[in-house]
Chain A
Amino acid sequence: MRARLFFSRDLYLTAISWLILLCAFASPVFAQTSEYTMKAIYLERFSRFIDWPKVADIEDTSRPFILTVIGENPFGESLAAVFKDQKILKKQVIISYVDSVEHIDSCHMLFIASSEKNNIDHIIDRVKDLGVLTVGDTEGFAEKGVLINLYLAEGKVRFEVNEAAVKESEFNISYHLMRMAKIVNSKEEVKK
């Protein structure tokens, strides 16, 4: 029990530092202004409720967590700001921005910008089975096979999960997260 407390102290510290950050300048942002800061924070939150497939080798904390953004970066400087100190799953976060699917080396999480609307099938097909969590914030992306798709509802950031795509992949998403998410089913489209 004691060991467990020690283990989790690390998490408390990060959480507290993160809260201080929020309190400092994010509280007005929280509501309206910085939608993308919120989304960046959500990217980390998702990781808490998701088990990566074995291929991703997520357990090894000595190696960084690679977050790739494909297409036109909608985050601006938010990503860099949020993950300057924030780790994902105890791993240092490295953010890479690419414009083409061919440039993706290997990553744990792939944010697909809406600019890639036309290439979405190709991208998904490309990263399938590589242990990459695909995230988007464009309407219809979930139906296309993106695992988690962010959207706004009543001024708040919400998300939808393509359950079928998750089942097909080797990702395991906690029921806690699933309960919060809007479930999208796009079997036929995925098949296509």
Chain B
Amino acid sequence: MRLLRRLSIKNKLIAILMLTTSSIALIGLAAMAYINIKSFKQDLVNSCEINAILAADYSITPIAFEDRTGAEEIILTLQKVPYIVNVYIYDENGNIFATYMTNPNFGSTDLLDEYDRKPMSRFVDNHLHVVQPIYYQDVYYGTVYLLASTDLLSARIREHLILTGALVCCLLGIAYLLAMRLQAVISRPILDLATVTNEVSRSDDYTVRVINNGTDEIAALYSSFNNMLEQIQIRKEERDKAEEATKRLARILESTTDLVLMGNPRRGVAFANVAARKALGWSDSVDLDSMTLADIHPECQLRRITEESIRIAMDVGIWEGESEIKSADGRTIPVSQVIIGHKSETGKVENISTIMRDISERIEAEKELKLIAERLKTSQEAGQIGTFIVDVPRETWTGTEYMYRLFGIQDSGELTFDSWVATIHPDYREEMKTYMLHDVLGSGIPYDKEYKIIRPNDGAERWIHGLGQVEFDENGRPLKLVGAARDITANKQAEEDARNARNYIRSIINSMPSILIGLDNDGLVTHWNHQAEQLTGVSSSRAEGRAIQIVFPQFFDEMPSVERALHDLEIVKDEKKTFEFNGETRITDVTIYPLISEGMDGAVIRIDDVTDRERIEEMIIQSEKMMSVGGLAAGMAHEINNPLAGILQNVRVIQNRFSDTLAKNAEIATQCGTSISAIIEYINARGIAVMMESVIDSGIRAARIVENMLSFSRKSTAEVSTHNIVELLDKTVELASNDYNLKKQYDFRKLNLIREYADDDIRLACEAGKIQQVLLNILKNGAQAMADKEYADGVEPQMVLRVYIDGSDVVIQIEDNGPGMDEATRKRVFEPFFTTKSVGVGTGLGLSVSYFIITDNHGGQMSVDAVPGEGTTFTIRLPREQSDVQKVMA
């Protein structure tokens, strides 16, 4: 190694390469030789083993059949293998069976000592021993023992080693030649670098560079070297610049109007610029070293400067603040001051410098400003107005103190646009954002908006009215928004209360079941409630502001009443006026109230629909009337019934006693001196028999009337069962058609029957016979009435039969276009014995009986409507729930 170190790079490289090559070649070739020799040996072993195996195979039968000659012939063939010297064949007992020997002195069969009938092969001295047992089908027959010479093997190995040696020499020669040529690749650039280094140090020129055109480690060394040269060059230039800058700084210090002083607080001033000397009244010849802080600052400031300002500057490095200095003429001048502590290399502050500026004018201006601000604040508090300025490009805003209080913002100062957005009530947030960004800032519309906020500090909801104006730059970009904001929560609350009150009243008016119409003095509609809309079909928006005669023409007749009310300021009431609403005639009470409160001239019209009330009243009257009349008739009938029974009884007895069929009659007649035949002859001649028949007939008729009258009050035992009322009605119609023959005055079959049934199967619990009686009665009456009417051409007598369900009732309506009846008739039509027919045609009890059947027996209602000359309509209402009927029955 030491030897190597002393050599030049060139020789070092050659030596290294040679060493490497030779060691690799030696190791490689030695390994190769070893492997080859081993394989030569193995080849020999393999070859001998194969021969032994073949010989063994061929020896099986010679041994089995004692054929020594055959065995010898076999091993003789091994003669052809040059290295096989001796071959022995042993039989199974270990006796020699056959041999082949080229050299009897060559080796011995030593291995037999350790032979255990398994193949063996081994080199002993210069001989190869191969032992091969002879087996056939697992039967052991003997052994083949083969001795081979290794002479040929040795010769081959020798030859191989000589060749390998020659190869090593050849390789080393080539390696040396290549090393000689290739070492220059490395050594030359290094020599070049050395040359350049010498050049640089000699000429002190750092701009020289080594030329680099490689990418290897030497190239990296070159570029590092170049970098180093560059760094040296840069530092040199910087040093020159720094010197220049120092000179310039000194000139600036002398020419500035700021006061600059440097020094050590304990040792005195080291430097004071012109401005400082002038301000402090120091002449050029003053001894700076003797000047202390007391010569600079007035007495009152000294303590603060030394204990606070200078200490901070020494600790932190800098102090900024305001102080005062003593001027040449003894005044104190306010200054803004910066004190800088300069650290020495040890890190300890030894020197300080200070820069001061006269701020007398600024202090004055600030005082002025403060005063203005105070005034502004006071005025804003008084006017409850906050003002603000939004810096649009920076998205920030500032406001007056009152502004912050208005918005419940704790910290004053600069705030973000988002902080304003955050205060806005969520319901208004998006709208306000769009308004602000798009309308105000985007389009320049003056800011004027009312919105709601939630104050972050107390969570109170407040209404704010914001006003403002955007200022734009010359490019039309918004610069700032200046404006004011006011709390208008109280106003808003009042507005809302008013609106709520109005809505409340309106909903009261709308929920009234009456029509309520407000009119002004000119008869124009001011109010038009829900009921008015419903009944007239005119919406309030259409009605309001128009004359009532136009939107409600039916009301025209009432206008004089309105005028009277307005004129006399009195309430005018018109009862039972009929109006047509939605094609239906309604009875109404109209009331007109003049408005007499101040400033509100006009009138209110109230129209109450009393149709239903009227109808009910009429029914109650009817019902009461019928009850009393019915009671009276029933009582009367009861009283008449007994004497009538007596009359009929006795008349029948009389008839009987005039009969010639009874023996007793003849006997009594004989006793009386006459004969029964004479008496019969007499009564016939005098028409007494006919009279008696007549008495009986009349009696029976009276009895029937009485029977009917009794039924008014009698609660018959119910035979209620469920029936299809439609079917019942049709059956009754059929019954009525068959009845025409009896009366002749009318012909039911000529009527035009129109059936309007809601359903073909409407079930109802009732007493079928009685209901049929009622229906037949109405149908007959109708038919009879129509027979009396003379119809115009093209008009046929017709009857409309309706059955429908109305709530819990079944309604049966029978409408004819007969002569109808006047109101007086209509009201009495159910009264007993009331009839329009000529005497003897009817009893006047039909409809009364019907009425009681419906109302009393079935708990229903029966009514009639009629228009004289146009027709009559009977309406029967029967409850579907029979429990009602049951109750009545019970």
- Whether the Cβ atoms of A180 and B70 lie closer than 8 Å is yes
Q: Which of B61-69, B200-208, B586-594 faces chain A?
A: B61-69
Q: Which residues of B contact A15 (CB under 8 A)?
A: 92, 139-140
B138 at the interface (CB under 8 A from A): yes
Closest to A4 in B: B138
Contact B60 A176 (CB under 8 A): yes
Q: A15-B92, A19-B93 are in contact. Are A180 and B62 (CB under 8 A)?
A: yes
How many Å lie between the Cα of A7 and that of B78 in the bound state?
A: 33
Is B137 in the interface zone, CB < 8 Å from A? yes
> Which of A41-49, A59-67, A105-113 makes up part of the contact surface?
A41-49
* Contacting residue for A179 out of B61, B139, B140, CB 8 A: B61
Taking the nearest CB of chain B, how far is it from the CB of A92, in angstroms? 19
A177 touches B61 (CB 8 A): yes
Chain A residues within 8 Å of B65, by CB: 42, 45, 180
| Interface members, chain A 170-188 (any B CB < 8 Å) | 176-177, 179-180
Decide if A156 is an interface residue (CB 8 Å cutoff): yes
Which residues of A have CB within 8 Å of B556?
none
A:1-42 near B, CB below 8 Å:
4, 7-8, 11-12, 15, 19, 30, 42
CB neighbors of A among B53-82 (8 A): 58, 60-62, 64-67, 70
User: Could you tell me the distance between the alpha carbons of A156 and B70 in the complex, rounded to whole angstroms?
Assistant: 13
Contact of A180 among B61, B136, B138 (CB under 8 A): B61
Per a CB cutoff under 8 Å, which of B58, B67, B137 touches A48? B137
CB closest chain-B residue, reference A19: B93
Instruction: State A45–B137 Cα separation when bound (angstroms).
Output: 12
Cβ of A45: which chain B residues have Cβ within 8 Å of it? 64-65
Q: Which single member of B92, B138, B140 contacts A7 (CB below 8 Å)? A: B138
Of the candidates A7, A19, A30, A48, which one forms a contact with B136 in the assembled complex, judged by CB atoms under 8 Å apart? Answer: A48
Instruction: Give the shortest distance, in Å, between B139 (CB) and chain A (any CB).
Output: 5
Residue on A nearest B74 in the bound complex, by CB: A179
Interface size bracket, A side: 10 to 19
Q: How far is the CB of B76 from chain A (nearest CB, A)?
A: 15
Chain A residues contacting B67 (CB-CB under 8 Å) are: 156, 180
The distance in angstroms between the C-alpha atoms of A30 and B66, with both chains bound, is: 10
Q: Secondary structure at chain B's binding surface: helix, strand, loop or mixed?
A: mixed
Bound-complex Cα distance A8 to B139 (A): 7
CB distance from B174 to the nearest CB of A (A): 55
* Interchain pairs with CB closer than 8 A, number: 39
Q: With A176-B61, A180-B65 given, is the CB distance from A48 to B138 under 8 Å?
A: no
Task: Kindly state the separation between the CA atoms of A49 and B70 in the bound complex, as whole angstroms.
Answer: 17
Chain A residues with CB under 8 Å of B64's CB are 45, 48-49, 176, 180
A177–B61 Cα gap in the complex (Å)?
6
Chain A residues 142 to 192 lying within 8 A of chain B, measured CB to CB, are: 156, 176-177, 179-180
Q: Is the CB of A11 within 8 A of B139?
A: yes
Distance in Å: Cβ of A32 to nearest Cβ of chain B? 13
For window 100-157 of B, CB contacts with A under 8 Å fall at 136-140
Nearest chain-A residue to B64 (Cβ)? Answer: A45
**What residues on B are CB-neighbors of A179 within 8 Å?**
58, 61
A180 CA to B69 CA, complexed, in Å: 11
Q: Are A49 and B61 in contact (CB under 8 A)?
A: yes
The one of A12, A42, A176, A180 in contact with B140, judged by C-beta atoms closer than 8 angstroms, is A12
What mask results when residues 651 to 682 of chain B are scored 1 for a CB within 8 Å of chain A, else 0?
A: 00000000000000000000000000000000
**Residue ID in chain A nearest B138 by CB atoms:** A8
User: In the complex, what residue of chain B is closest to A180 when comparing beta carbons?
Assistant: B61
Q: Which residues of A contact B139 (CB under 8 A)?
A: 8, 11, 15, 48
Q: How far is the CB of B695 from chain A (nearest CB, A)?
A: 148
* Shortest Cβ distance from residue B115 to the other chain A in the assembled complex, whole angstroms: 16
A178: min CB distance to chain B, Å: 9
Closest to B67 in A: A180
Contacts of A11 in B (CB 8 A): 138-139
> Restricting to B22-69, which residues have a CB under 8 Å from any CB of A?
58, 60-62, 64-67
Q: How far is the CA of A8 from the CA of B133 in the complex (A)?
A: 15
Q: How far is A32 from B58 in the complex, measured between Cα atoms in Å?
A: 27
Distance between Cα atoms of A156 and B65 in the complex (Å): 10
Q: When the two chains form their complex, are residues A176 and B138 in contact, meaning their CB atoms are under 8 A apart?
A: no
Say how far A88's CB is from chain B's closest CB, in angstroms: 13
Question: What's the Cα separation between A146 and B710 when bound, in Å?
Answer: 154
Interface centre among B58, B65, B136, B139 (most CB of A within 10 A): B65
The interface residues of chain A lying within 8 Å CB-to-CB of B136 are 48-49, 176
Give Cα A176 to B61, complex, Å: 6
Docked complex Cα distance between A111 and B780 (Å) = 149
- 0/1 per residue, B365-388, Cβ < 8 Å to A? 000000000000000000000000
- Give, as a whole number of angstroms, the nearest-CB distance from B138 to chain A: 4
CA distance A180 to B58 in the complex (A): 10
CA distance A15 to B141 in the complex (A): 10
Nearest chain B residue, comparing its CB with the CB of A12:
B140
Complex CA distance for A11 and B137, rounded to whole angstroms: 10
Chain B nearest Cβ from A40, distance in angstroms: 14
Residues in chain B near residue A48, CB distance under 8 A: 64, 136-137, 139
Contact A156 B66 (CB under 8 A): yes
Q: Which residue of A lies closest to B93 (CB)?
A: A19
Closest chain A residue to B57, Cβ basis? A176
Give the chain A neighbours of B62 by CB distance below 8 A: 180
Bound: A48/B137 CA distance, A: 8
* Nearest neighbor of B59 in chain A, beta-carbon distance: A176
> Which residues of A lie under 8 Å from residue B92 when comparing CB positions?
15, 19
Residue ID in chain A nearest B66 by CB atoms: A156
Q: Which residues in A have their C-beta under 8 angstroms from that of B138?
A: 4, 7-8, 11
How distant is B116 from chain A, measured CB to nearest CB, in Å? 11
Contact with B along A124-158 (1 / 0, CB 8 A): 00000000000000000000000000000000100
Interface residues of B (CB under 8 A from A): 58, 60-62, 64-67, 70, 92-93, 136-140
24 pairs, CB–CB < 8 Å, chain A vs chain B: A4-B138, A8-B140, A11-B139, A12-B140, A15-B92, A19-B92, A30-B66, A42-B65, A45-B64, A45-B65, A48-B64, A48-B136, A48-B139, A49-B61, A49-B64, A49-B136, A156-B67, A176-B61, A177-B61, A179-B61, A180-B62, A180-B64, A180-B65, A180-B70
Beyond A30-B66, A176-B136, 6 additional pairs, beta carbon < 8 A: A7-B138, A15-B140, A19-B93, A48-B136, A156-B66, A179-B58
Report which A residues bind B (CB closer than 8 A).
Answer: 4, 7-8, 11-12, 15, 19, 30, 42, 45, 48-49, 156, 176-177, 179-180
